[in-house]
Amino acid sequence: MSSRRRTSGMKFPGDVSGFSPSAVGALLVTFGVACLAGVSITGALLDRVPHHTLNTAVATQAVGMLGLSAAGTDPVAAVVFPVLMGGALGPVFMATQNEMLRSAPGRTDLALAANSGAYNAGIAAGAALGALALPLAGLPGTFLMGGLLTTGACVLLLGERLLPAAKATRAAKALPNQ
């Protein structure tokens, strides 16, 4: 497969971290196992601590991207940080889906559609931004940009909890149903 046809996720371990092409397959399996572990852990926590689960997943994704950008030439970092990103991949979607369902209990069909649409629009926008950044900043710079955008999302999530409307909504949800 030519390097022009590979995704940045497949190019980083070989081109930046120095792994052989045969090792890249093992790294992708490790990434997949981390995805499964993240989904399993999130499934167990989502009903108990939904907002913290979303914050943790987004923060974990940011750490993975920023860490890979900063230390991706180190072979250990090139394994650890993609594992963090893999562990956060499914949980970000699961936690946002859960928040949407909690926000629109009477219109779950619209909530599910809105979340799926927003998530897919985010994937498309991220791919477009990455395609623009890649020739200008290289792979590490592209992961830095993604990590900074994800950090911004994490700040927004944490800041949302400080808004008066969010506090009132959380207080209303905490009241027992009568």
Task: Indicate the number of domains in the chain.
Answer: 1
The Cβ of residue 43 has, within 10 Å, a number of other Cβ atoms equal to 13
**The one-letter amino acid at 114:** A
Distance of alpha carbon 117 from its chain centroid, rounded?
16
Q: Within a domain: residue 101? A: yes
pLDDT reported for residue 162: 80
The DSSP line for the chain is: --TTTS-HHHHIIIIIS---HHHHHHHHHHHHHHHHHHHHHHHHHTTTSHHHHHHHHHHHHHHHHHHHHHHTTSTTHHHHHHHHHHHHHHHHHHHHHHHHHHH-TT-HHHHHHHHHHHHHHHHHHHHHHHHHHHHHHHHHHHHHHHHHHHHHHHHHHHHHTTSHHHHHHHHHHHSPP-
Which residue segment(s) compose the domain that 153 sits in? 8-158
pLDDT reported for residue 53: 94
Torsions phi, psi of 160, nearest 5?
-60, -35
Q: Within a domain: residue 3? A: no
pLDDT reported for residue 2: 41
**pLDDT tens per residue across all 178 residues of the chain:** 344 444 555 567 777 777 888 888 888 899 999 999 999 999 999 989 988 999 999 999 999 999 999 998 899 999 999 999 999 999 999 999 999 988 888 899 999 999 999 999 999 999 999 999 999 999 899 999 999 999 999 999 999 878 776 665 665 665 555 4
pLDDT reported for residue 10: 58
What is the C-alpha to C-alpha distance for residues 18 and 20, in angstroms, rounded to an integer?
7
Structure tokens at 109: 């069909």
CATH of the domain at 81: 1.20.1250.20
Q: Within a domain: residue 56? A: yes
Q: Within a domain: residue 173? A: no
Please state the length of the chain.
178
pLDDT reported for residue 176: 53
Q: Within a domain: residue 28? A: yes
Structure tokens at 144: 């830095």
pLDDT reported for residue 169: 64
pLDDT reported for residue 160: 84
Q: Within a domain: residue 80? A: yes
pLDDT reported for residue 148: 97
pLDDT reported for residue 5: 41
Q: Within a domain: residue 154? A: yes
Q: Within a domain: residue 134? A: yes
